[in-house]
Amino acid sequence: MASLLLSQTATKTSIIFLCFFLCFSNVVVALTKQQELDRITALPGQPPVGFSQFSGYVTVNEDHGRALFYWLTQSATNPDKKPLVLWLNGGPGCSSVAYGASEEIGPFRINKTGSSLYLNKYSWNKVANILFLESPAGVGFSYTNTSSDLKDSGDNRTANDALNFLIRWMSRFPQYKYRDFYISGESYAGHYVPQLANKIFDYNKGLSQPIINLKGFIVGNAVTDSKYDNIGTVAFWWSHAMISDKTYKNILNSCNFTSDKFSKKCDDIVDYAMNHEFGDIDQYSIYTPTCKVAQNSTLIRVKNTLIHRRFSGYDPCTENYAEKYYNRPDVQKALHANTTGIPYKWTACSEVLIKNWKDSEFSILPTYRKLMAAGLRIWVFSGDTDSVVPVTATRFSLSHLNLKIKTQWYPWYSGGQVGGWTEVYDGLTFATVRGAGHEVPLFQPRRAFILFQSFLAGKELPRS
């Protein structure tokens, strides 16, 4: 009898184990062939993790051979129930792998030698599935077989290609169709993010059940309106003692911020300010040390937006670590990247794209008005030590939306300290992040994480 009971118990145990095995196997088998090809087993030097990763290419234009590179880091818990968030870096021409994934919101950080990775305690994939996209073609591992594409990129094509990417990517990953979807990014993604949201909104019109279930977007230190951004930027320089009273007055008197092109006199005054009055500072984070490795400075203008893109990074040198790591053949193989043999080195930013940007929308404010009327959740945040797209620029631009205040300006908190300040309007939430530079999650990772959590939850930032 005891032997029979033991046998029955063993049989039940075997059935339970078999059921568990088959259920687990179904999860694995449920991956399509292409998903399996895109699955990352592990990156070189990567610590063990409990979430899945995928990366690879999606062709967005067959005629020109344009293909965009993506990297998906699924949520660490319940990925099938968490929203999908697309992250875009700006430039225009800078990599979401170099910045967003590797020094801001991604699960890993790169060590100084570029030999291994370590975990980011405040990775955004703790609460969402994060999809990093290198966009447009020519950025990072994304490529085009038509060389002229590198010389005539612009806002409109970038948005169209990103929309095509999402449609085709969701065909590859149908489990994300109809999932709550958000777009996020920073800097020149202040153009990319609302413009892509606008394309999705128009694409979804007339569809009974849109596969791209866009719920909203969140952008940081975002290029918004050429006129108001520039006035606010010069005000930041003066109010933070970066330029003299004389230079401040000369810029205001000589620069026509309503024009698509600056005069030589305006150029000369701004060049003087940057080269003789700013000093050797990190313009993206004016109170932190600069990187002393390979400091190459280039002044670049995107239409009439003042941009000073320095091809070195944070830590203050983290960008250099990314360039070491992602140029390793074993890393590229693990990422399924550079499969066509791109004839140039992977770089954090493409100087060719930045210098040859063709169409740049003068103001994104009309797009904000349209998408607020559509009921999207929209948050805009600013690190308050950035002098490139500073908090004064964003506040001045948003003020011209003339929005009704729902919740008056108040300090929000993180870890018992003021994390920044916020005001909630009818249709939009604005927040500052105290002590953060241009890349908010790099300088204030905990505060940025709380900000992101609150955005996803649709809740106001904590008051205590």
pLDDT of residue 315: 59
How far apart, in whole angstroms, are the C-alpha atoms of residue 76 and residue 99?
21
How is residue 183 written in tokens? 């777009």
Residue 185 confidence class, pLDDT cut points 50, 70, 90? very high
Query: Which one of the listed residues 386, 387, 414, 454 is annotated catalytic?
Result: 386
Of 2-6, 52-56, 158-162, 210-214, give the lowest mean pLDDT range: 2-6
Residue 281 confidence class, pLDDT cut points 50, 70, 90? very high
* Known catalytic residue at 438: yes
pLDDT of residue 293: 63
Span 282-334, pLDDT tens digits: 999 999 988 876 444 433 334 444 443 332 234 577 888 999 999 999 999 99
pLDDT of 195 higher than 90: yes
pLDDT of residue 282: 92
* Known catalytic residue at 240: no
Please provide the distance, in angstroms rounded to a whole number, between the alpha carbons at the two ends of the chain.
65
pLDDT of residue 3: 43
pLDDT of residue 115: 93
What kind of fold does domain 31-225+311-464 have according to CATH?
A: Rossmann fold (3.40.50)
Span 380-424, pLDDT tens digits: 999 999 999 999 999 999 999 999 999 999 999 999 999 999 999
Residue 261 confidence class, pLDDT cut points 50, 70, 90? confident
Span 38-51, pLDDT tens digits: 999 999 999 999 99
Higher per-residue confidence, 206 vs 325? 325
Query: Which one of the listed residues 38, 55, 191, 438 is annotated catalytic?
Result: 438
pLDDT of residue 385: 97
Span 61-91, pLDDT tens digits: 999 999 999 999 999 999 999 999 999 999 9
Query: Which one of the listed residues 102, 187, 226, 454 is annotated catalytic?
Result: 187
| Domain residue ranges in the chain | 31-225+311-464, 226-310
